[in-house]
Structure 1
Amino acid sequence: MTMPNPPALAGHYRVRVTKDHLVFAAGHFITYNGDHCERIHGHNYRVAVEVEGPLDDNHYVFDFIALLELSRSIVAEWDHRMLLPDGSGLIAVHDDPGEGPAHVRVCYKERRWVFPKEECVILPIPNTTTELLARLFGQRLWERMGQQGLKPPSVLRVEVEENFGQMAAAEWRNPSE
């Protein structure tokens, strides 16, 4: 018995990239429960990016190489850095030019840290949680797509895994579709 032909596809496709070079090692700490602050620690974060939409004239949802390069550019900015929140009401981050190389001074209640500025990335988020890192990564990726003149996908999803089995995701839907 022969199988009938499958129904026509609706024209919606998905592309996903996650590779060994979409990994960044970074230090951070978060606040939680209003009055607690973790110790400084780090993760080998892994990023996965997924886009959805119809095929373009080249029969792509999105060019894999372009998606990887844009994603790697963000990973490179965060790799081997201390990730610090600039929008926290609990953690204060200050430039401390002082003598010699510039530093960043960070305060949480009575706790104080000083880091070389060139080794920090100050992020416009209230806390360096994996959820907010995924959201910021996606926002920056969306902006870079536009700067490169690339057609935005119907859906952009970014996953950031901080440890094996622990990940957060953020998703955007193109408002023009």
Structure 2
Amino acid sequence: MPSSRFKVRVTKDYLVFSSGHFITFDGDTCERIHGHNYRVAVEVDGPLDVNAYVVDFIALRDMTRAIVDELDHRMLLPADSPLIRVAVEGSNTVARYRDRFWSFPTEECVVLPLVNTTSELLADYIARRLLKEMKARGWADPEAVRVEVEECFGQSAEVELVP
């Protein structure tokens, strides 16, 4: 007798965010500031509940949208980078890498608890936020949560969290 495994996937035209960022790589290289029009897709695996849902599509969509809206039209900066120092100075947030620095109005920045603002770590950040929100709503732990962040057509990163 075959068994069934269930998952839901949410990807909508408005689960997008346009943000600026820059990353460090190869140990000593810091790229130029630039931006992406990111797209987000979310999958949740798990058993069916009393409603025959894995999770409520609408609630999952709205939770994801709230997170991506926080990132939209912002400069994304890493709080935990060993190479980029981020500090609030007056009404601006300043990021420093060696002898380079950038200054942005603080209200236009999101300082994320990440070591780098790569698509991989953005996906992980969104996935962990979704798991936290699911717990806050009293939902059962899913078997897995996957978040894909596409930074441009044909270029994406995905994380899978297994609670």
The two structures have a TM-score, normalised by structure 2, of: 0.97
Q: Is 1:12–1:55's contact at 8 Å kept on the other side of the alignment?
A: no
1:130 & 1:122 partners in 2: Cα distance? 15
Answering whether residue 121 of structure 2 is matched by residue 132 of structure 1, we say yes
1:30 & 1:134 partners in 2: Cα distance? 15
1:127 & 1:165 partners in 2: Cα distance? 21
- In the TM superposition, residue 147 of structure 1 has moved relative to its aligned partner by 1.2
Deviates more, 1:11-20 or 1:37-46: 11-20
2:157 counterpart residue number: 168
User: Which of 54, 61, 73 is matched with 2:66 structurally?
Assistant: 73
Unaligned runs of 5+ in 1: 1-6
User: Which of 78, 103, 108 is matched with 1:114 structurally?
Assistant: 103
Percentage of pairs with the same residue = 56
2:94 & 2:101 partners in 1: Cα distance? 7
Classify the secondary structure of the residue corresponding to 1:135: helix
CA displacement 1:76-132 (0-9 Å, x = unmatched): 1000000000000110001112xxxx1101101111110000000000100001100
1:107 & 1:131 partners in 2: Cα distance? 22
Classify the secondary structure of the residue corresponding to 1:60: coil
2:20 counterpart residue number: 27
Classify the secondary structure of the residue corresponding to 1:34: coil
Instruction: State the aligned residue count.
Output: 163
Segments of 4+ in structure 1 off by > 4 A? none
User: Which of 73, 81, 98 is matched with 1:88 structurally?
Assistant: 81
CA RMSD of aligned residues (A): 0.9
